Amino acid sequence: MLILTRRTGETIVIETPSGEVVEVTVLGNNGPQIRMGVTAPNHTSIDREEIYKRKKAEASHG
Q: What are phi and psi of 3, to 5 degrees?
A: -110, 125
Domain count, the chain: 1
Largest CA distance in the chain: 42
Could you tell me if residue 27 is left (phi over 0), alpha (psi between -120 and 50 degrees) or otherwise beta?
A: alpha
Q: Rounded mean pLDDT of the chain?
A: 96
Q: What are the tens digits of pLDDT across the range 22-54? A: 999 999 999 999 999 999 999 999 999 999 999
Considering the entire predicted model, what is its pTM?
A: 0.84
Q: How far apart, in whole angstroms, are the C-alpha atoms of residue 54 and residue 36? A: 21
Rounded to whole angstroms, the Cα distance separating 30 from 1 reads 25
Kindly state whether residue 42 falls inside one of the protein's structural domains.
Answer: yes
DSSP state of 50: H
Is residue 2 a part of any domain in this protein?
A: no
The predicted structure's pLDDT at residue 20: 97
Instruction: Report yes or no on 27 lying in a domain.
Output: yes
Q: Which domain holds residue 26?
A: 11-60
Is residue 5 in a domain?
no
Residue 21 lies in a domain: yes
